[in-house]
Amino acid sequence: MQIRKVGVLGTGLMAPGIARLSAQAGYETVIRGRTEQSVGSAVESIRAGLARNVERGKLTEQQKDEILGRLTGATVLEELGGCDIVVEAVIEELEVKRELLAALDKICPPHTIFASNTSSLPIVQLGAATKRPDRVVGMHFLYPPQAMPLLEVVRSITSSEESVQTAKSFGQSLGKTVVVAKDTPGFLFNRMLVPYMMNAIRLLEAGVASAEDIDTTMRLGLSCPWGPLEMLDFVGIDLTYRSGSHFYEEFKEPQYAPPPLMKRMILAGHWGRKTGKGFYDYPEAGARPERK
């Protein structure tokens, strides 16, 4: 199946980057949000990112204009009706995603593939909200999508081979290295990442080392840009707690169980960067952590 027109559903953290990738790859792209303001902000963030690339010599002014010329903002779902693939990147809540996919199912032609950017929700449950479960897959982009080279394509027990291969080819056309994972909690990336971060908390909780030394060990030992506790602050301690609890409920394996310290931090409102305090302090939004 050939992809010509791409829809991106959402205007939050992930959607603008995905839409930018699509337009840069030469696809006519529609990004849909709930309000004119959210759509305008998403398009402006894409424009600003492209402008920075022009300043750095990575794009010409003409290339920037051509990319923006392939991008359209919309506030109604019907604008996604002519798309060959729609990437859903809205809030990580199952019922919200199911409702939107059910509505799109009535709007889009039968060949349209629905790809969810969920990091952990069951693809089979999303597909069940439609009359085309064979054409529903996962496409988990990492943040920020325009910079991170990895893409997980997730195959549920109802996803067709054609849909999986089309999603994989589409991802590769965006410049991504694609891995294919089964539809299990956490898929592949988070299934490995969450226990790694949980173990870092357990080391801190047991007094084995300070937060800074734990992060320094992994940053330098594995040449990672962030240590596990810094990453937790960025992702959100509350969200990771929710994911770990979900994994533990599914697998009953201790490696996924959130440590007690994590629950106490959440109760105290220490959720990471978004609340200004986590394993580190953040006096300003987006600032580097203040070491404790």
Task: Determine the pLDDT at residue 72.
Answer: 97
> Backbone phi, then psi, for 217, in 5-degree steps?
-60, -45
31-78 per-position pLDDT tens digit: 999 999 999 999 999 999 999 999 999 999 999 999 999 999 999 999
β-strands 136-141, 150-155 pairing: antiparallel
119 included as an active-site residue: yes
* 22 assigned to active site: no
Q: Is 160 a catalytic residue?
A: no
Q: Which residues pair with 31 in a beta bridge?
A: 8, 73
The rounded distance, in Å, linking the Cα atoms of 22 and 30 is: 9
CATH of domain 190-275: 1.10.1040.10
pLDDT of 292: 40
Residue 285 banded pLDDT, cuts 50, 70, 90: low
Q: Please confirm, yes or no, whether 199 is among the known catalytic residues.
A: no
Q: Can you give the pLDDT at residue 288?
A: 53
Instruction: Answer whether residue 106 shows pLDDT above 80.
Output: yes
CA dist 134 and 45 (Å) reads 34
The pLDDT confidence band at residue 92, using thresholds 50, 70 and 90, is confident
Task: Give residue 44's pLDDT.
Answer: 97
Please say if the pLDDT value at position 281 is more than 50. yes
Tell me which of 163, 190, 230, 243 is the catalytic residue: 190
Residue type, 246: H
pLDDT tops 60 at residue 286: no
- Do the first three CATH levels of 5-182 and 190-275 match, i.e. the same topology? no
Q: Go through the chain and tell me how many residues it has.
A: 292
Q: What is the architecture, at CATH level 2, of domain 5-182?
A: 3-Layer(aba) Sandwich (3.40)
Average of pLDDT values for 135-147? 94
Q: Choosing from 140, 159, 163, 270, which is the catalytic residue?
A: 140
Domain boundaries, the chain: 5-182, 190-275
